[in-house]
Homo-oligomer: A and B are copies of this chain.
Amino acid sequence: MTATSQKNWVGEPSELLRVGEGFRLADVDPSSTPGYDGGKKTAQEDLESGAAELDELQERLFAESRSEATNASVLLVLQAMDSAGKGGIIRHVVGSVDPQGVALAAFKKPTAEELAHDFLWRIEKRLPEPGFIGVFDRSHYEDVLIGRVRSLAGADEIERRYGAINEFEKRVSERGTRTIKVMLHISPDEQRERLMERLERPDKHWKYNPGDVDERALWPKYMDAYQLVFERTSTPWAPWHVVPANSKWYARIAVQALLLEALERIDPQWPAATFDVEAEKARLAAS
């Protein structure tokens, strides 16, 4: 990586954070800041310079996709326990990109119509078109996370879904979409603090749901479900990354760095003109 926003990284974030062989979620410290050689202030500066880089790379990606030379797009899948900071990533990292180049899909509790279809039906419809950065705020992984923890589906069906997800994501990859899957990892104590803040501030009450406390009791079950998801669905074509997220500033630059790396690997180029530039200048001048 050579971009200025990435000068404070020791190693490549995609390598450092990727779920590989023998990964254990329990070994990840949610308060750590792996690979980043700087603090909150430096991170803020890097986030700003990274924002400009990300914006330009996306515009190039879009421009190149118009030329039909490529189908490339990027898909960021965000999963996390409540209050882990998905919203902050979308606002502060994704929000720096021209809205015309972003396709955001927030997946809520499935509707009756969605439940009548396979779990991937609603996902397929929201895949990013060429040139876009797609962002999934929750995703098909809900169907193997809360789906497992709350027994919304049987064990056989959950098992089937891991395989279906891998095949689906492979097809997505073959079509030109680079998928980056991110779990924002916070600790239960950090979550308590963040939920408490929502209770203490009247302008945050609307974000609080009493059900959040009930979910906290299931924390170990959720962590087990994530561990299984990582073992079964971290593939070469759609790897998982666990981003320690107790420090919001770290989570933000880490996810930004993952996006920057993905775009730099695509290395989109401004497409050449498909018309005679000088002739068009003459036509335009005469018009």
Contacts and interface: CB of A to CB of B under 8 A. Distances in A.
A154 interface: no
Nearest to A283: B213
A210 B38 CA distance: 49
B271 A205 contact: yes
Nearest to A98: B91
Contacts of A200: 281
Given A66-B206, A202-B270, A205-B271, A287 B95 contact: no
A112 interface: no
A213 B287 contact: yes
A271 B91 CA distance: 22
A25 interface: no
A152 interface: no
B104 A270 contact: no
Nearest to A277: B199
A253 to B, nearest CB: 18
Contact of A199 (B208, B216, B281): B281
Contact of A272 (B87, B102, B205): B205
A156 interface: no
Interface in A150-184: none
Interface string A214-248: 00110000000000000000000000000000000
A284 interface: yes
Nearest to A202: B270
A192 interface: yes
A206 B60 CA distance: 10
A57 interface: no
Given A192-B285, A217-B287, A287-B213, A275 B100 contact: no
A136 to B, nearest CB: 13
A195 B100 contact: no
A147 to B, nearest CB: 23
A203 interface: yes
A203 B270 contact: yes
Given A100-B90, A137-B100, A199-B277, A206 B285 contact: no
Interface string A28-44: 00000000000000000
A67 to B, nearest CB: 7
Interface string A101-145: 010101000000000000000000000000000010100000000
Given A63-B206, A206-B270, A192 B287 contact: yes
Interface string A80-99: 00000001001100110011
A26 interface: no
8 contacts: A67-B206, A91-B100, A94-B99, A100-B106, A203-B270, A205-B271, A206-B270, A216-B287
